[in-house]
Amino acid sequence: MKDPAHILVVDDDDRIRDLLKRFLAREGYRVTTASDAASARRMLSSMAFDLAILDVMMPGEDGLSLLAGMREGKQKDTPVMLLTARDQASDRIAGLKTGADDYLPKPFEPEELALRCAAILRRSQKDTPPEEVEMSGLVFNAARGELREGDKRIRLTDAELQLLTVLAAKAGEPVDREDLAALTSAGMERSVDVQVTRLRRKIEPNPREPIHIQTVRGIGYRLMPD
């Protein structure tokens, strides 16, 4: 059985802290609380968390500063939701720029917070993509940026390597052409199509009838390994 997600709640308001601990525990989460950033930092240094919920407006060090510290420390990849009494665009933008995954203004409904927590945890706990992808005798290793056929290394341009890396990370799933353009140096959807055509010539047994880099009509492309 999978262990429950461990959530850190940091808020100087005793009532909110207690409410969140009781509500999230009833939802099946393991919950640890801290009343200020200093206590939270000590906990973050000694425990691992799957999600941190930080109040922005706290006396002393605020939630944005704590978040910035997390993004530079060993829990830099821990998802963070910010809570604040100020629902201003500038606050939201500052939080997201600092690395927050979500933002919820006070007052809030506990049910909405729980739903947002579940969504963040689903996104962060996706299976790790395979280290290597095999395609008709070829092996692509994204970590090394290598496409090989046995001992022979097949040369990829930077654009081809970027495209193949993005597709391999979501092997079996369709990837939107717009996302491919944004995540690679292609820049435009039309350029993505050109790179796909070139990449197929290096990967597909028959580039005119591709079996590995498949076109998903109306969406984009999908990499199908062996």
> Using only C-alpha atoms, what is the Rg of the chain?
22
Specify whether 39 is located in the same domain as 107: yes
Contact between 4 and 29 (Cβ < 8 Å): yes
Tokens of 212: 């590995």
Domain total in the chain:
2
Same-domain pairing of 117 and 188: no
Query: Is residue 1 included in any domain, yes or no?
Result: no
Q: Is 105 in the same domain as 196?
A: no
In a domain, 158, yes or no: yes
Shared domain for 73 and 158, answered yes or no, is: no
55 falls within a domain: yes
Cross-strand bridge partners of residue 81: 53, 102
pLDDT tens for 2-44 read 678 999 999 999 999 999 999 999 999 999 999 999 999 999 9
Within this chain, do residues 47 and 139 fall inside the same structural domain, yes or no? no
Strands in 175-176's sheet, in edge-to-edge order, are 175-176, 220-223, 213-216
The CATH code of the domain that includes 193 is 1.10.10.10
138 & 119 share domain: no
The domain of 120 spans 6-124
Yes or no: say if 185 and 210 are a contact pair by the CB < 8 Å rule: no
| Domain co-membership, 48 together with 156 | no
Both 151 and 77 in a single domain?
no
Q: Are 149 and 97 in a shared domain? A: no
CA distance linking residue 112 with residue 105, whole number of Å: 11
Residue found under tokens 């880099």 = 213
Asked whether residue 53 is domain-assigned, the answer is yes
In a domain, 116, yes or no: yes
> 106 and 190 in one domain?
no
Q: Does residue 220 carry a pLDDT above 70?
A: yes
Together in a domain, 119 and 137: no
Name the residue among 73, 88, 76, 64 with its Cα closest to residue 10: 64
Domain final residue pick, 70, 100, 124:
124
* Edge-to-edge order in the sheet of strand 51-55: 30-34, 6-10, 51-55, 80-84, 102-105
**Of residues 88 and 60, more confidently modeled:** 60
| C-alpha pair distances (Å), 16 with each of 10, 87, 110, 168 | 10, 17, 10, 43
Residue 88 included in any domain:
yes
Q: 174 and 68, same structural domain?
A: no
Residue after which a domain boundary falls, among 96, 124, 152 = 124
pLDDT at 129: 60
CA dist., res. 200 & res. 198, Å (int): 5
Give the tens place of pLDDT for each residue, 102-146: 888 888 898 999 999 998 888 877 555 667 899 999 999 988 889
What mean pLDDT do residues 159-167 have?
91
- Please give the model's pTM, rounded to 2 decimal places: 0.57
Count of CB atoms within 10 A of residue 65's CB?
15
Task: Judge contact between 124 and 50, C-beta under 8 A.
Answer: yes
